[in-house]
Structure formats: C-alpha cells, structure tokens
C-alpha cells in the first residue's frame, strides 16, 4: 500500500492538468485553473497534505517519502518560479536514479542490502535471493528514470499521462513479477544462511 501513496498527488496533478485552462475568481483573486502550472501547484500542495498527514499519524516519514516530498517541492517550485515545465520533467528521472543509487550503495555500505532492510521483517530468504532482488530494484529504478526522461523530452504531448499511468503501470508489473519470483524461493527459507550480508 505504501508504494501507491506517492501516486495520490500525481493523480491530483493529472486531473488538474487535464482541465481546460480558465480564470477563476476566488476570494477576490483571479487564479488560473488547469494546465501545467496550476497542476504543479496542486502537486506541491497535495504532497504537503498527504505526507503531512502521514507524518502526523506515524510521527515520522520514511527516507523514500522524504526524498519524494523534497523533490516535489524543489522541482515544482523551480517550475513555477521560472515558468518552465523542464524542471518538472526532470523530477521523475532524478528521483528514480537516486533510489537506484540507494539500492546500489547498500551493496557496499551497511550490514544489510536495502531490500532486505525493507522486506526482511516479513520474509526470510537465502542471501543470494536478496542480492538478486536488490539488483532487480536497481535495474527497475534505472529503467523507470530513463523511460520518464525519454518520454518527457521526446513525446511532449503525452509525457504527463506517462508520468502518472506509465509509472504506475511499471510499478504494478514489477511488483507482480517480484511476487512471482519470491513465490519460487519461499520454500528455501528453512535452509537460508544466517549471514546478514550477502557476498557479491
């Protein structure tokens, strides 16, 4: 469920983006609703609300959620400040590649692979399986970043659609593939080594 919380602001962003731009008077102020810039403002506000609620309920945010929130604030603010959607186009690639870097770094830093830190409380797997799973997440985030970058600067008419539904679709397909892969190895749990870090 946590993987899909990040898509709530994106869905609101998409809805506002698809509205035909129009001028709306709110409390005596004229605001433009619809299009990329009001959608970007919605992305910033909804991200603050969603993660603010999570922080209030949990008294903390995960590192990935902090990264997503900060990226929304930085790239969204630059988009509005310079009135250029180019900044927002770089958000998804940069965030995905930072996630890939974090998963890759866990092969060299710390006593556990990042995927094992995330899922280790629920599953017991051989170290070799954890390693392959961690590498798969690295590949997934690298691919998602590259795909978002390619579509954003090559197919500008559909980049927002891809940013929302393409990213969601890739995530769902990858999680399904991960579930199928894990189901083949759960029978190995009884013989899993006790090492806390796999050998590369």
Residue 61 in tokens: 């945010």
Half-sphere exposure of 63 (CA within 13 A, CB side): 7
Q: Which pair of tokens denotes residue 123?
A: 């599953």
Identify whether residues 79 and 127 lie together within a single domain: no
Close Cβ partners of 85 (under 8 Å, ≥ 6 residues apart): 36, 40, 79
Same domain as 195, residue 118: yes
Number of neighbours of residue 20 by Cβ within 10 angstroms: 7
> Among 32, 56, 83, where does a domain finish?
83
What is the tens place of the pLDDT at every residue in 112-170?
899 999 888 888 888 899 999 999 999 999 999 999 999 999 998 899 999 888 988 99
Contacts of 199 (CB under 8 A, 6+ apart): 127
Are 101 and 71 within one domain?
no
Whose structure tokens read 């983006």? 17
pLDDT band at 199 (very low <50, low <70, confident <90, very high): very low
The domain total for the chain is: 2
- Is-above-0.75 flag for pTM? yes
- The verdict on 172 and 102 lying in the same domain is yes
- pLDDT tens by residue, 65-118: 899 999 999 999 999 999 999 999 999 999 999 999 999 999 999 888 999 998
pLDDT at 187: 60
Residues 27 and 52 in one domain: yes
Co-location of 49 and 118 in the same domain: no
143 and 74 within one domain: no
Element (H, E) at 154: helix 127-154
Domain span at 137: 90-200
Helix (H) or strand (E) holding 24: strand 22-26
Nearest of 199, 191, 164, 184 to residue 15 by alpha carbon: 164
Pair 27, 105 in one domain: no
Do 143 and 158 reside in the same domain of the chain? yes
Which pLDDT value is given to residue 197?
A: 43
């Amino acid at each position: 469920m946590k993987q899909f919380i990040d898509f709530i602001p994106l869905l609101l962003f998409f809805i506002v983006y698809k509205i035909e731009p129009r001028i709306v008077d709110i409390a005596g102020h004229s605001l433009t609703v619809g299009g990329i810039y009001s959608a970007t403002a919605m992305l910033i506000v909804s991200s603050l609300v969603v993660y603010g609620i999570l922080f209030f309920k949990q008294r903390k945010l995960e590192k990935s959620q902090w990264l997503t929130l900060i990226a929304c604030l930085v790239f969204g603010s630059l988009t509005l400040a310079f009135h250029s959607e180019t900044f927002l186009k770089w958000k998804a690639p940069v965030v995905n590649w930072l996630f890939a870097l974090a998963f890759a770094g866990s092969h060299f830093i710390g006593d556990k692979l990042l995927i094992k830190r995330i899922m280790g409380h629920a599953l017991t797997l051989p170290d070799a399986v954890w390693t392959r799973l961690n590498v798969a997440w690295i590949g997934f985030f690298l691919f998602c970043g590259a795909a978002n970058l390619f579509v954003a600067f090559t197919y500008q008419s559909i980049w927002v659609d891809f940013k929302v539904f393409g990213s969601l679709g890739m995530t769902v397909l990858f999680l399904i593939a991960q579930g199928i892969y894990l189901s083949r190895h759960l029978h190995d749990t009884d013989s899993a080594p006790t090492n806390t870090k796999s050998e590369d």
